[in-house]
């Protein structure tokens, strides 16, 4: 579609109106959630947050192309894909608070959810380290003949890491059912993509590894879905991997710890804000008669209430029990860890930061 939401009907993927509205809902949920949780971080109620503002089409459009048995191995800004795939919103909020409802018991940095039930692997903050994992999972699927595809996300900065080469080289040689989706938002924290590579695109890098590379408008949910669906279908049928470059822009900061105005021209940022993927998708849905202004307003109000209710519920949950410090590694807690836990339990509560039950 163009910047005004007008699309060539002959090129629009074949989905039902309900499917397109579900994709749009997933995109709006990310935006509403980001706005609320970033505000909480600024208020000191959570410790860290990273937005996906402006990248919602790339996140949800790609996840929508998967089958239930497929797996997602995320990078940084794909939590919305996990939510789209069934990660409960309260579970995600609990992970951000690191409270007793957090499946990881507060061990992970915020924005690092994971759910086996929805086939969404917990991300790693180590850049590109998830890519060999994605290829390994796909290689296992090929050996087991279980008909699943693995979607491995990365950012443009990950293309400068050794793991990027390792993963794509192995994928090209052994052709497991893996699809790489690079959200090229043009900034790896403060390093622009022009300082990451001299290649004219990220997609062209796939040619050196012996498989297709495709560049797509990352702010167009229709285009992202179509490209990823084609790649997933090819991978599932034995056609091997694909590298998809979703060209977008990080219109917000890298994270709540970043100030992009110190290193980039924000006038360029404003031109990308005008290409808002949610605005474009809403316009297309309106042109098709799938969504009117009243329906959009109700959707946003419902999602805002859903996010606020989840925050209110999880913010009141206490910290994980102290015993979780020594659990989840050994089937039986070794005596030396049990002794250390007993010693820590004698310390005053204030020295434990309140995480003492």
349 is catalytic: no
In this predicted structure, what is the pLDDT of residue 354?
Answer: 53
84-97 core/surface letters (b: 16 or more CB in 10 A; e: else): bbebbbbbbbbbbb
Query: What CA–CA distance (Å, rounded) separates 238 from 177?
Result: 7
223-243 core/surface letters (b: 16 or more CB in 10 A; e: else): bbbbbbbbbbebbbeeebbbb
Calculate the dihedral angle through the C-alpha atoms of 247, 300, 92, 159, rounding to the nearest 10 degrees.
0
- What is the residue-level pLDDT of the chain in tens, covering all 357 positions? 999 999 999 999 999 999 999 999 999 999 999 999 999 999 999 999 999 999 999 999 999 999 999 999 999 999 999 999 999 999 999 999 999 999 999 999 999 999 999 999 999 889 999 999 999 999 999 999 999 999 999 999 999 999 999 999 999 999 999 999 999 999 999 999 999 999 999 999 999 999 999 999 999 999 999 999 999 999 999 999 999 999 999 999 999 999 999 999 999 999 999 999 999 999 999 999 999 999 999 999 999 999 999 999 999 999 999 999 999 889 999 999 999 999 999 988 665 555 544
* Domain residue limits, the chain: 9-319, 321-357
34-55 core/surface letters (b: 16 or more CB in 10 A; e: else): bebbbebbeeeebeebbbbbbb
45 is catalytic: no
Q: What pTM was estimated for this model as a whole?
A: 0.94
Rg over alpha carbons for the chain, rounded to the nearest Å, is 21
Q: Under the phi-then-psi rule, with left for phi > 0, alpha for psi from -120 to 50, and beta for the rest, what region is 58?
A: alpha
Cα 341 to Cα 76, 105, 321: the distances in Å are: 33, 16, 11
Q: Are 322 and 345 in contact (CB under 8 A)?
A: yes
Q: Is 221 exposed, middle or buried (0-12, 13-18, 19+ CB in 10 A)?
A: buried
Catalytic residue among 53, 77, 85, 254: 254
Phi, psi of 71 (to 5 degrees): -120, 150
Catalytic residue among 31, 215, 234, 250: 250
209 is catalytic: no
Q: Which fold has domain 9-319?
A: Rossmann fold (3.40.50)
Q: Which of these, 109, 48, 30, lies nearest to 306 by C-alpha position?
A: 30
Catalytic residue among 45, 195, 263, 349: 263
Inter-axis angle of helices 17-42 and 221-236, nearest 10: 110
In this predicted structure, what is the pLDDT of residue 224?
Answer: 98
Q: Are 152 and 178 in contact (CB under 8 A)?
A: yes
In this predicted structure, what is the pLDDT of residue 351?
Answer: 55
């Amino acid at each position: 579609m163009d910047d005004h939401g007008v699309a060539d009907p002959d090129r629009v993927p074949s989905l039902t109106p309900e499917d397109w509205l579900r994709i749009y809902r997933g995109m709006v949920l990310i935006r509403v959630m980001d706005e609320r949780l970033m505000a909480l971080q600024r208020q000191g109620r959570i410790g860290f947050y990273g937005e996906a503002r402006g990248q919602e089409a790339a996140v949800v459009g790609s996840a929508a192309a998967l089958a239930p048995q497929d797996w997602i191995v995320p990078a940084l800004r794909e939590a919305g894909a996990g939510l789209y795939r069934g990660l409960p919103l309260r579970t995600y909020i609990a992970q951000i608070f690191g409270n007793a409802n957090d499946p990881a018991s507060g061990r992970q940095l915020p924005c690092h959810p994971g759910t086996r039930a929805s086939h969404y692997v917990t991300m790693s903050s180590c850049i590109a380290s998830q890519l060999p994992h994605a290829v390994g999972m796909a290689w296992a699927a090929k050996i087991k003949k279980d008909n699943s595809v693995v979607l491995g996300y990365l950012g443009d900065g990950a293309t400068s890491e050794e793991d990027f080469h390792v993963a794509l080289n192995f994928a090209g040689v052994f052709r497991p059912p893996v699809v790489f989706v690079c959200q090229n938002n043009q900034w790896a924290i403060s390093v622009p993509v022009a300082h990451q590579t001299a290649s004219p695109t990220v997609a062209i890098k796939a040619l050196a590894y012996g498989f297709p590379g495709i560049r797509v408008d990352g702010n167009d949910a229709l285009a992202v879905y179509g490209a990823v669906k084609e790649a997933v279908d090819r991978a599932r049928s034995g056609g091997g991997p694909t590298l998809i470059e979703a060209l977008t822009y990080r219109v917000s900061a890298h994270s709540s710890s970043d100030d992009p105005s110190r290193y980039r021209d924000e006038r360029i940022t404003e031109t990308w804000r005008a290409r808002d993927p949610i605005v474009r998708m809403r316009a297309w849905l309106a042109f098709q008669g799938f969504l009117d202004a009243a329906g959009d307003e109700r959707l946003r109000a419902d999602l805002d209430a859903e996010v606020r209710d989840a925050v209110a519920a999880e913010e009141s949950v206490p910290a994980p029990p102290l015993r979780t410090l020594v659990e989840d590694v050994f089937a039986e807690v070794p005596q030396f860890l049990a002794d250390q836990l007993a010693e820590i339990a004698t310390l005053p509560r204030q020295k434990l930061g309140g995480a003492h039950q």
